[in-house]
Structure 1
Amino acid sequence: MRCPFCKTGESRVVDSRSLDNGSTIRRRRECFSCGRRFTTYERLEEIPLWVIKKDGRRELFSRDKILTGIMKACEKRPTALETLSDMVDEIERELREQPETEVSSKVIGQMVMDRLLQLDKVAYVRFASVYREFKDVGEILDCLEELGVKEGN
């Protein structure tokens, strides 16, 4: 590793620490030539994951977009942010474990729906109303019927 101060290519590792659940290693180094210390970060190089949108466009996977959508669905619901973040971590891990580097937005949406159904049915219906693009109240009632909710209850 080249020293940022004297540009010499020889240094020794003084300390190493794992960060971000082991996906990053922080190394404290000391230059053999000038004796100054500096920090380097070693990160796992991830293969980009592409999302194929409904209209055929492609965009890079964004865990923040998924988290934002789930947070909107769970707004004013008794659900901890940590639980929602863990849900997104699980979805991302599942997607990255697959051999494909492209995934349909429909697949991601269904993964979110499956987890919200287990977590909070109100959040599930809220998310479904956007994801399935409900056109009228009848479609919402159909969704509630699928959940086993009867009118007036």
Structure 2
Amino acid sequence: MKCPFCNHEDTPVLDTRASDEGDSIRRRRRCDNCGKRFTTYERIELTMPVIVKKNGSRTEFDPTKLRGSLMLALRKRPVSAEAVEAAILSIQEKLLQSGAREVVSGQVGELVMRELKRLDKIAYIRFASVYKSFEDVTEFQDAIAEVGPERKVAKKRSE
């Protein structure tokens, strides 16, 4: 680490401590050349992957857009705000864990569909109809059949 006062290269660490929040490391250093002391901080830098759209353009990941899509599909559905935020965090974590610098928008759409399927079947069908560009009733029927068996099983259990 270079000294901020004289730009000397050798600045040994005198003391190392974790921050109160535990999200960074504080290092106290002393310059061997000028003798001045200074503090450096080491933090984790998490970078979301860039989203590659269908037309090839690239855009930064925007959790606000993700939230908007989820809220539109979940409009007037009995899903708590906490559940929506948990779904957003889950999607973000999966994108970070992928380690990819770029992710095609289709992958994000699939993650959204997986979360909606878990949260609310009606919202899943709403999102799928737009995301997959349903063109006729049979595509709706296929999507409903995909989530339908779970409902029948739930009815049998309650009888």
TM-score (norm 1): 0.66
Report the Cα distance in structure 2 between the residues aligned to 1:23 and 1:86, rounded to whole angstroms: 21
Gaps of 5+ in 1: 1-15, 26-41
The match for 1:87 is: 87
Deviation at 1:132, TM superposition (A): 0.7
Report the Cα distance in structure 2 between the residues aligned to 1:23 and 1:65, rounded to whole angstroms: 27
Gaps of 5+ in 2: 1-18, 26-41, 150-159
Instruction: Give RMSD over aligned pairs.
Output: 2.5
Report the Cα distance in structure 1 between the residues aligned to 2:85 and 2:48, rounded to whole angstroms: 20
What is the SS of the residue equivalent to 1:127?
helix
The match for 1:68 is: 68
Larger radius of gyration: 2
Maintained 8 Å contact 2:48/2:95? no
The match for 1:143 is: 143
Q: Which amino acid aligns with 1:144?
A: I
Deviation at 1:48, TM superposition (A): 4.6
Report the Cα distance in structure 2 between the residues aligned to 1:121 and 1:68, rounded to whole angstroms: 18
The match for 2:134 is: 134
What is the SS of the residue equivalent to 1:147?
helix
Q: More helix per residue: 1 or 2? A: 2
> Quick one: structure 1 residues 76 and 52, their matched pair in 2 at CA, closer, same or farther if it must change by over 3 Å?
same
Deviation at 1:17, TM superposition (A): 5.6
Report the Cα distance in structure 2 between the residues aligned to 1:70 and 1:24, rounded to whole angstroms: 33
Note the alpha carbon deviations across 1:124-145, whole angstroms, 9 max, x for none: 0011111111123332122112
Q: Which amino acid aligns with 1:118?
A: R
Q: Which amino acid aligns with 1:67?
A: R
Report the Cα distance in structure 1 between the residues aligned to 2:118 and 2:60, rounded to whole angstroms: 28
Report the Cα distance in structure 2 between the residues aligned to 1:24 and 1:83, rounded to whole angstroms: 29
What is the SS of the residue equivalent to 2:140?
helix
Report the Cα distance in structure 2 between the residues aligned to 1:48 and 1:122, rounded to whole angstroms: 29
Report the Cα distance in structure 1 between the residues aligned to 2:48 and 2:118, rounded to whole angstroms: 29
TM-score (norm 2): 0.64
Deviation at 1:69, TM superposition (A): 0.3
Maintained 8 Å contact 2:48/2:96? no
Percentage of identical aligned residues? 39
